[in-house]
Structure 1
Amino acid sequence: MKIYFANALFSQAEINYNAQLAAKIRQIDDAIDLYLPQENASINDKQAYADSKMIAQADTEKLLNSDLMIAVLDGLSIDNGVASEIGVAYAKEIPIIGLYTDTRQQGATNQKKLQALTQIAENQFHYVNLYTTGLIKLNGTIVNNEKDLLAAVANYI
Structure 2
Amino acid sequence: MYYVAHRLFAAQDRALAARLADRLANEVGADNVFLPFCDTDEEDLVAQAKGRRLFELDRERLCRLTAMIAILHGPSLDDGVCMEIGYAGALGTPVIVMTTDFQTYSMTGAGTPLSFPDPLVECLASRVVRGERLGSPSSTLGISRFEAFEERNREQIERTVKETVDATLGVSAHRTTALPVSGARPRTAFVEPSPYGGGESAIGGVLTRAGYALRTATRLSATDAMAAVRNDWAAATASEVFVADVSGPETPPGAAVLIGAAAALGRQVAAYQPRPVFTHAHGREPNWRNLMIQYASGAHITSAADLAAWTGV
CA distance in 2, matches of 1:28, 1:81: 27
- Provide structure 1 residue ranges, at least 5 long, that are not aligned to the other structure: 106-116, 119-124
C-alpha distance 47-60 of structure 1, shift in aligned 2 (>3 A): closer
1:32-66 Cα shifts (integer Å, max 9, x gaps):
61100021344x21785653321221101111111
CA distance in 2, matches of 1:20, 1:12: 12
CA distance in 1, matches of 2:93, 2:82: 14
**Structure 1 segment 76-87 matched on structure 2, within 5 A:** 76-87=75-86
CA distance in 2, matches of 1:32, 1:154: 16
1:141 aligns with 2:127: yes
Amino acid at match of 1:146: V
TM-score (norm 2): 0.39
RMSD: 2.6
1:6-56 Cα shifts (integer Å, max 9, x gaps):
0101111111111111111111233861100021344x2178565332122
1:17 match: 16
1:57 match: 56
Instruction: State the Cα distance separating 1:130 from its structure 2 match.
Output: 1.3
Task: Point out which structure has higher relative CO (alpha carbons under 8 A, 6+ apart).
Answer: 1
Provide runs of 4+ in structure 1 moved above 3 Å.
Answer: 29-32, 46-52
Q: Is the 8 A contact 1:4 1:66 kept in 2?
A: yes
C-alpha distance 52-41 of structure 1, shift in aligned 2 (>3 A): closer
1:95 match: 94
CA distance in 2, matches of 1:94, 1:33: 15
Higher helix share: 1
1:6 match: 5
Q: Give 1 or 2 for the bigger CA radius of gyration.
A: 2
TM-score (norm 1): 0.74
2:153 match: none
Aligned length: 136
CA distance in 1, matches of 2:93, 2:167: 15
C-alpha distance 67-8 of structure 1, shift in aligned 2 (>3 A): same
Q: Is the 8 A contact 2:68 2:94 kept in 1?
A: yes
Q: Between the two proteins, what is the percent identity of the paired residues?
A: 27
1:78-121 Cα shifts (integer Å, max 9, x gaps):
2111110111111101111111220224xxxxxxxxxxx47xxx
